[in-house]
Amino acid sequence: MRKVLFLLITVFISCTVFSQNFSLKGVLKDTSEKRLLQYGSISLLRQKDSVLVSFTRSDATGAFELRNVPPASYILLISYPGLAEYADLIEAKKDDDFGTIPMITKAMALQNVIVHGGGAIRIKGDTTGYMADSFKVKEGATVEDLLKKLPGIQVNKKGEITAQGEKVEKVLVDGEEFFGDDPTLATQNLNASVVKEVQVYDKKSDQATFTGVDDGIKTKTINLKLKDDANKGYFGKLNLAGGLPNRWENTAMINRFRQKKKMSAFGIMGNTGKVGLGWGEERQYGGGSGVEMNFSDDGASMSFQSDNEFGGMDNYNGEGLPSAWMGGFSYGNKWNADKNNINGSYRFQKQRVTGGSNNISQYILPDTQYFNNQRSQSATSKYRHKANLSYEVTLDSSQSLKFTANGFTGQTNSGNTFYSEALTGKGLPVNQSNRSSNSLATNSGFNSSVLWKKKLKKKGRTVSVNLAETYKDNSSDGQLLTYNSFFKGGVLTSRDTTDQKKQSDYTGLTINSKIAYTEPIGQKGIVELSYAYNISNSESKKLSFDKRDGKYETLNGSFSNDFKFNIKTHVAGAGYRFTDKKYNFGFGGNIANADWKQMDLFKDTVRKYNFTNLFPRANFQYKISQYSRISFNYDGNTRAPSLNQIQPVADNSDPLNVYKGNPNLRQSFSQNFRLSYNDYKVLSDRSIYTSIGFSPTSHDFGTLDVIDSVGRKTYQTVNVDGNYRINFNIYSGFKWAKPDVRIGLSGNGNISRNNGFLNGLKNVHNNTSFNFNLSFDKNVDKKYDLSIRNELGYNISKSSIRPDVVTKYWTYEPTLDIGVELPWKIQLNTDINYSWRQKTSVFDNNNNVVLWNARIEKKLDMKQNIKLGFKVNDILNQNLGFSRVINSNFVSEKNYDVIKRFWLVTLSWNFSKGPRKEEEW
């Protein structure tokens, strides 16, 4: 009787359990050969730990069925010989029929992502895609917060992004520029919740994208693909914050998207150092009187980079107390079946920064050492208007025309005061200086280009023509007043005074033209032939007027010059690319002949030079599997000296450190080798990225320093050989399944050698630095999120003139970031960062800092989009501006004013709405 009863209970329990389980079925089909697939392998893995739950094979009709599947979240994994794997995240809640499941070839998989719904990282060609919802961030997080969670991507305190070991220059939104080329506008103002995928890739030039032949011009780019809902309505945010002592931070942004039409507007104002502080376009346009001409890697184009005698419109780097205002709008649209594409934006920026700093330096000379202490105060205000426009039209099925233009105009007003003293190793004075300067500078620039592309009848045969111009116009007026005292053995021996008016004017125009032709070679190869002709004309006038009888009318010839620099360049190029299923490679290069003409209008002298330069390039990529590849890149490029470096005039804006141009400078030639490897495992969510690069430079630009007995330094740029740089990056990230913790391990290092001359002796400076990071991330939805970072750094520096003087130190920065969801719709966030810097024999001050910030917010509405909050920055009031610089013959440590403790009452609103009716737009 007991056995019968036990059997009945067992049968009852089995039936009950079985009744709660489900059946999953489908049919496998080859999309290329249109055939049903027999004996395909179907695996069902538990999502949380990837444990195999069920397995079967398809029958002769391609059908399969997994029976008795318990309710849970699973990974459905299907494989078939010769075809790409299929993976999908599924929820077993009922009997389910997946219908026909398409299986594609591995070759097609290299061009198309086949992981549907599953997998945090996807690789398509040369693009790495991160599925945003796979990386948990706290509610209300920005895109910048999301990027900090992604493997292989780092974001520093300035908002600068590094991806796969390279600095990101552009952030696009759905493939289009977002208010020009300032990456922080997108990363710091768009909400992470609207992003579907973050794509990282090397953006090629328009011409290389069209022809398929690499021209060596690449820009590390992030593209933010928005969710479908974001592209069918409007979304945005409004943040209002005010508090003490006199702190405010307000931002507003609205984005209205309807299919291909996109409109955005924003406004930002604040004085907390968090918003409106990006002025990155200076790299593109230049802001001063000295301009460096950079040839592109293929030698086919040139660009300018400027420096200003009194300081230009540089990015805010955390130094000083800023106030910023910024606003703008953008518009983009595609119509006529995407044959017409327009994108434009306008932005206004205004900024004021005040502050002071203290700098301690140790100068290492062949026979002695001396120390320099400096105190400074500065105030800078500036504004700028900037606009961008691009328009592309498809003329017919074989040709298109693209026009781009961007420009800006602005003004900078700056004033600075300095006090410095040089001391011997025994503390005796060597010199003392009181210096003040001010300047008013206007800056403007305009770039434009036209690109015509034409496909000929034979597939792969194309022709393209590109015309581009760049114009700059910068001028400044300033005042310099300096009182210097000099000592010998601690006894005052002499004094001098400099009281001058400064004028600086620079104009520059470049015109670049290029024609390219491609021809297919076989089924998998393509060759490109090109010719370019470029003209660059620039003039720099620097005038210094000494004060006489209360007037600044006496021209000082030692510090004045009018200089013209003209370059004409012919460039011939050839390249070849071969593409196969598993690998692709390309090689080629350009040869450029440049005529230089340097005209010193003060001395009525002309110097002419002729250079022939080679720009080789090669790359190779092997696809080990769909998610694993190894690649090698090489390129060589020539860099011309800046106009400031060759203009034969002394710059005495700091009379104790006088720079003079060197008209005998030649071009430098750099070679860049990089080997990289990346691998991703879908089921274990494990990623690895590593790269190593080596860059030697011949005829590099080094410095010749001459320091006299009273500490005055004169220096100029000279050509040197033997400089090189080695750098590496490695990242490994994986998910610890049982506690559901994401772990990241990363490291990077730089080894460099730089040559120069000091008081007639050759000086070889070797510097090595390493950084290691260990991170832990844990998220429990609607409960809490936890992030822990540990960064350890080491730096060692040594110069050949004094091998007995070695500078080395460790740094350590642990960070804890916690967000907790409390009852009554309250959210608490706090982060603590500890910065430890090892003391040295020179820098023995305590610069260790604990930064503790906290924020509490209450959600006010049912949708939890409106929040009222209170936050405190730097609770312990320990924030400290700090930096260290190591150079060939000196090391320095700088402390500067920064924003310290403050509190804010905050009100934020993240809003969105789906598509409207047609007549409402």
Give CA–CA dist 142/191, Å, rounded: 4
Least confident of 12-16, 666-670, 730-734: 12-16
pLDDT above 60: residue 312: no
Q: How much is the pLDDT for 209?
A: 65
Q: How much is the pLDDT for 48?
A: 67
pLDDT digits (tens, 9 = 90+) for 105-153: 665 554 444 333 445 777 666 777 888 877 777 777 778 888 877 776 7
| 661-669 average pLDDT score | 91
| 623-645 average pLDDT score | 87
Q: For the chain, give the mean pLDDT.
A: 83
Contact 156, 163 (CB under 8 A): no
Least confident of 253-267, 384-398, 599-613: 253-267
| 814-832 average pLDDT score | 92
pLDDT above 90: residue 469: yes
Q: Nearest CA to 824 among 856, 853, 848, 799?
A: 856
Residue 336's Cβ-count burial label (10 Å; 0-12, 13-18, 19+) is exposed
- Which amino acid does the sequence have at 61? T
| 817-832 average pLDDT score | 91
Q: How much is the pLDDT for 305?
A: 39
pLDDT digits (tens, 9 = 90+) for 851-869: 999 999 998 877 668 899 9
Instruction: Specify which of 113-117, 127-131, 435-439, 459-463 reaches the highest per-range mean pLDDT.
Output: 435-439
Q: How much is the pLDDT for 630?
A: 93
Give CA–CA dist 720/173, Å, rounded: 43
More confident of the two residues 152 and 560:
560
Q: How much is the pLDDT for 919?
A: 32
pLDDT above 70: residue 8: no
Instruction: Specify which of 253-267, 288-302, 557-571, 873-887 reaches the highest per-range mean pLDDT.
Output: 557-571
Q: How much is the pLDDT for 542?
A: 94
pLDDT digits (tens, 9 = 90+) for 26-53: 998 887 667 888 888 888 887 766 667 8
C-alpha distances in Å from residue 641, one per residue of 153, 238, 308, 688, 721: 33, 47, 16, 39, 15
Please state whether the peptide bond connecting residue 915 to the residue before it is cis, i.e. omega within 30 degrees of 0.
no
Give CA–CA dist 889/365, Å, rounded: 7
Per DSSP, the three-state class of 489 is coil
Percent of the chain with pLDDT over 70: 85
Give CA–CA dist 288/314, Å, rounded: 11
pLDDT above 90: residue 442: yes
pLDDT digits (tens, 9 = 90+) for 329-349: 999 898 988 899 999 999 999
Contact 467, 206 (CB under 8 A): no
Q: How much is the pLDDT for 15?
A: 42
Strand partners, 329: 265, 346
- DSSP type of residue 710: T
- Residue-by-residue DSSP string for 308-332: -TT---PPP-S-SEEEEEEEEEEEE
Give CA–CA dist 385/409, Å, rounded: 6
Give CA–CA dist 135/785, Å, rounded: 11
| Cα angle 701, 706, 712; round to 5 | 125
* Distant-in-sequence, close-in-space partners of 19: CB < 8 Å, separation ≥ 6: none
C-alpha distances in Å from residue 583, one per residue of 7, 490, 522, 580, 623: 62, 70, 16, 5, 6
Tokens linked to 461: 């045969």
| 180-196 average pLDDT score | 74
Give CA–CA dist 372/654, Å, rounded: 14
For 559, list phi and psi in degrees, rounded to 5: -125, 25
For 284, list phi and psi in degrees, rounded to 5: -85, -40
Residue 13 CB neighbours (<10 A) = 10
pLDDT digits (tens, 9 = 90+) for 250-307: 999 888 877 788 888 989 999 998 766 555 443 333 333 333 434 444 444 433 333 3
Percent of the chain with pLDDT over 90: 43
